[in-house]
Amino acid sequence: MKNRLCEMFGIDAPIFAFSHCRDVVVEVSKAGGLGVLGVARKGAESLREDLRWIDAHIGGKPYGVDFLNPASFEDAAERKFDFDTGLPQAQRDFVRQMLDDAGVPALPPDEADQIMRKLLGEFNFTPAEGQRMIDIAFEHPIKLIVNALGSPSRALVERAHARGIKVAAMAGSPKHAVRHRDVGCDFVIAVGTEAGGHTGQATSMVLWPRVVDAVAPLPVLGAGGVGRGRQVAAALALGCEGVWCGSVWLKTVESEVTPEIKQRMFEAGPEDAVLTRSVTGKPCRTLRSRFTDAWEQPGAPDTLPAPLQAYLWWSLGRTRVERVRAKEFLTYPVGQIVADMDSETSVRQVVQDMLGELLESKERLDRLLD
């Protein structure tokens, strides 16, 4: 394929992959697309290690990094956050009771303390923390920076451009997309509600062409519900110049998800990818579980603002659940295409299948419209 985005990065196909897993990033770039490493919840050391590993394995192919950099945040006061007083009693009791009732054992106190400390080292939500992560990324041959929540600062865009690094940002509405364009982004990623992770209300079908029109002639990637070639064809037909996928890589051998989560994803339908605030405090599409269900029940407390809800889930819920592999409480961000994910495959196969089906779609349309 040849288009502006392929030329911009010297890639064979405008298939951009979001992943928290360095193996996926490397495999997508080697397969002719562009892998982008999600930095959220990585500590500085772990980011350094991942980027060094990518540099050693990617064979000179381009790759990028994705930062959360939220526009609004609850300052966790540079590691001074106190889990005992920082999280309200009602929500803490709710999670404890939920797991006690299900017979999921509490963490031994010393283990709990160790986990909290480790957790605080991994959250990087404040501007200072975000800056530190960006500085680390600049020490590596990255070709793209993506801002996940809100627009990047002009200063960041200029700093990146001065080094030949492109900048993009995620948009759930034309208004957000225009803001990204106005700070100097090189392209915009329009994320429909089908997407795994943080997402808005508009479907890809409605959102993509609106964003394309709003920021034209800036290129747009279609995200949310893309897992196969027919969906890539739809994105291109709606005016996008490529796609950005996150969920589909979770079914690969390279992915970071545990066998338990993978199996639950293989059994899930589209209705099992629920939009909930219970995991991060912001609307996030994730695999339905007893934890996400509990917050929907009458009498459940309100979820906390981000990132406090994430602290709550990770510190009091997730660690306790994972320790005993309480499968029915496990959750992981995933989009509605989870419905199409029914067996394990490789990253390379996903890319090849996408391109094969894209060509078939083109031929079908050519026959239809001839």
Q: Which is nearer to ligand FMN, 15 or 98 (by Cβ)? A: 15
- CA 365 to each of CA 208, 233, 288, 311, 357: distance values in angstroms, whole numbers, following the listed order: 20, 10, 36, 49, 12
> Is there binding between residue 202 and ligand FMN (CB under 6 A)?
no
| Smallest gap from residue 97 Cβ to ligand FMN (A) | 28
Q: Which is nearer to ligand FMN, 133 or 245 (by Cβ)? A: 245
Residue nearest to ligand FMN (CB): 246
Q: 286 phi and psi, to 5 degrees?
A: -145, 165
Q: Which is nearer to ligand FMN, 98 or 235 (by Cβ)? A: 235
Within residues 294-353, the interface with ligand FMN by CB under 6 A covers 332-335, 337
- In three-state secondary structure terms, 222 is strand
| Smallest gap from residue 80 Cβ to ligand FMN (A) | 24
Within residues 159-198, the interface with ligand FMN by CB under 6 A covers 170, 191, 194-197
Residue in 5, 1, 29 with CA at minimum distance from that of residue 17 = 29
**52: Cα separation from own chain's centroid:** 21
> Is there binding between residue 246 and ligand FMN (CB under 6 A)?
yes
> Is there binding between residue 148 and ligand FMN (CB under 6 A)?
yes
| Smallest gap from residue 302 Cβ to ligand FMN (A) | 23
Residue type, 123: F
13 near 1, Cβ under 8 Å? yes
Which of the stretches 157-165, 173-181, 224-232, 343-351 binds ligand FMN when contact is defined by CB under 6 A?
224-232
Q: Which is nearer to ligand FMN, 98 or 330 (by Cβ)? A: 330
- Decide the pairing of beta strands 284-287 and 273-276: antiparallel
Site string for ligand FMN, 268-297 (x = CB under 6 A): ------------------------------
Residue in 279, 285, 284, 329 with CA at minimum distance from that of residue 308 = 279
Give the CA angle between residues 70, 255, 340 to the nearest 5°. Answer: 90
| Contacts by 94-97, CB closer than 8 A, 24 or more apart | 94/294, 94/300, 94/301, 95/312, 95/313, 95/316, 95/317, 96/316
> Is there binding between residue 226 and ligand FMN (CB under 6 A)?
yes
Positions touching ligand FMN (CB under 6 A) are 18, 38, 40, 66, 68, 148, 170, 191, 194-197, 223-226, 244-248, 332-335, 337
